[in-house]
Amino acid sequence: MTENNATARPENLPERIQHYIDGAFVDSQNGATFDVIDPVTNQTYIQAAAGQKEDVEAAVAAAKKAFEEGPWPKMLPRERSRVLNKIADIVESREQVLAEMESYDSGLPIKQALGQARRAAENFRFFADLIVAQIDDAYKVPGRQANYVNRKPIGVAGLITPWNTPFMLESWKLAPAIATGNTVVLKPAEFTPLSASLWAGIFGEAGLPQGVFNLVNGFGEDAGDALVKHPDVPLISFTGESRTGQIIFGNSAPFLKGLSMELGGKSPAVVFDDADLETAIDATIFGVFSLNGERCTAGSRILVQRGIYDEFVERYAAQAQRVKVGLPSDPTTEVGALVHPEHFDKVMSYVEIGKSEGRLVAGGGRPEGFPEGNFVQPTVFVDVAPDARIFQEEIFGPVVAITPFDTEEEALELANNTKYGLAAYIWTNDLKRAHNFAQNVEAGMVWLNSNNVRDLRTPFGGVKASGLGHEGGYRSIDFYTDQQAVHINLGEVHNPVFGKQQ
């Protein structure tokens, strides 16, 4: 890579990345480390501690002690809310530093990384508000019985997070887990451990008690597996690909753990012939090429009605060719570098597969001027059959398949014709069609005439191979708390009497 293509190295990088256990940064007990690379050069830039079973055991012991003996679970919601708001304030005040480190570590364009840092702060602020405003159910039978619900924190929550938008997705789990009074052990993705290392300082400055937050870096088969199998971790929240989710499901079964798993996606964007074409094209370009295409909710299958198909394809391909690929640190970059050479090879293998499964109208290789690093041109295949691998399988990169349809019934069949069911996007000005199609599409989330803009109060999750359970708003409160029903007799005791002496 030429000197002109070298991305800016953030200031204040740590000398190495360590675990954070019981209020202290520590190395792995056996001294194991792994290399962390810069995705622009694919050169190692830092070493991270590689957590093993014994490191996870130490982190869980610290979290369990903080839960059983520490003040955090017993604090009033308002007291915990103050700490969460301080966390949000600190994140906001450091958003530029966070974004620079996230961009450097993951290859995300700096402008998009900045948006993710702001969203992370908002996640903490949202749950700070929610735990104070939270109400619980009460049920009355006049003159006979009153019933109400207690919510209790459960214990140690194991949080396993992915490498795409890592800091924001860590906040998405950390905020509700600690807001509800639990303690946590976070296992971030091994490709992108840098921004996770910043949480310890943020939490300490905000006044989170020692042991509430613990962090173990490392590989899924070591640290992640030990966390999932630990008997003192009753909750596992995981975001990642579906095959890993299946393994976690199986390994958790003997312990009957609570599971929340947001898994893969191959989401359809359905464009009917009465849609606002320019807006639909802008949204579907953004929907698959933003965040380097490394997003679970990407609309990576675009289904277009036959009457507008040719015009849509022509305009979409031309706009995709204008999407700017560049250094992640360049504020004008729209697609940066994919996270890791392993993932780059996977995406490029699908590009090659696509050349025999569809008609290539944009991209298909490396962008000019970037002979090294994990750079991929925004790639568009059209006339893709529904049994094609690029139609059926999650690519998780800046690659899209476009397929025509004739009728609404055919569009629904195509939309539902994968094992996934995370998101769907529907573009039409027919109100009746929009609502009926949304009802019948197999997706946990549907956007009508909108890109992926989500209110934090709404549930997030998928169906089929895209997940198990939902988080977001009160669904997160449900997952991270036990609900206890309390029944009070208010009148004569009504019960059958057995064995009474006559």
The Cα–Cα gap between 391 and 222 comes to: 33
Catalytic one of 262, 334, 357, 471 = 262
Cβ proximity of 405 and 304 under 8 Å: yes
Kindly write down the DSSP assignment for every residue of 44-58, as one continuous string: EEEEEE---HHHHHH
Q: Is 262 a catalytic residue?
A: yes
Q: Residue 281: what residue type? A: I
Query: Per-residue DSSP letters for 164-189?
Result: SSHHHHHHHHHHHHHHTT-EEEEE--
Which residue type sits at 55?
D
Structure tokens at 432: 């009746």
Rounded to the nearest 10 degrees, what angle do helices 277-289 and 306-322 cross at?
A: 50
Residue 342, classed as helix, strand or coil, is: helix
* Active-site option among 100, 296, 357, 442: 296
- 404 and 306 Cβ atoms separated by less than 8 Å: yes
Residue 430 CB neighbours (<10 A): 14
Q: Of 384, 323, 378, which Cα lies nearest the Cα of 354?
A: 384
> Contact, 242 vs 466, CB < 8 A?
yes
* CB distance 89 to 205 below 8 Å: no
Amino acid (1-letter code) at residue 226: A
Give the CA-trace dihedral at 163, 462, 320, 377, to 10 degrees: 30
Max Cα-Cα span within the chain? 99
- Let me know: does 450 contact 270? Beta carbons within 8 Å: no
Nearest by Cα to 269 from 454, 455, 449, 465: 449
For residue 289, what is the enclosing H or E element? Answer: helix 277-289
* 142: CB partners within 8 A, 6+ apart: none
Run of H or E including 203: helix 199-206
Instruction: Look up tokens 């990407």; give the residue.
Output: 298
Catalytic residues: 262, 296
